[in-house]
Amino acid sequence: MTELSDPQAVADALSAVDAGDKPERTVLRAAVRSLLAALAAKAPGRAVEVRVPPYGAVQCGEGPRHTRGTPPNVIETDSVTWLRLASGRLSWEEAVASALVSANGSRADLSALLPLFGQGTDA
């Protein structure tokens, strides 16, 4: 089970998304950051940078450490897509095929790490 720093924000944001609404900005920010922190805890390292503008970014994954300039392995997506990916409401393959995720680099693949909870995992 993945520990979330703000499980209530995640639950509230997903409830809004499931209802077809946009989550409140402060709730969305807290949920995105909580899920990014959970990803970094699940896959420690600094080989891949995961960006969810404007709310946050983390480095994760084993491999060569990145220190300057643009990282060689970058994943970027919007906040609602990130919530859906992290919770199992959207698969990595579907997100990439639909261009909801930009993934560049040989290590820029989160399919083995997602979902962080939800469908197919212990929530």
Q: Helix-strand-coil percent breakdown of the chain, rounded to 5?
A: 35, 15, 50
Kindly state the tokens that stand for 108.
């820029």
90-114 residue pLDDT tens: 999 999 999 999 999 988 999 999 9
Global pTM? 0.90
48-103 residue pLDDT tens: 999 999 999 999 998 876 666 677 899 999 999 999 999 999 999 999 999 999 99
Query: pLDDT at position 10, please?
Result: 97
Query: pLDDT at position 19, please?
Result: 97
Q: Is the pLDDT of residue 31 over 60?
A: yes
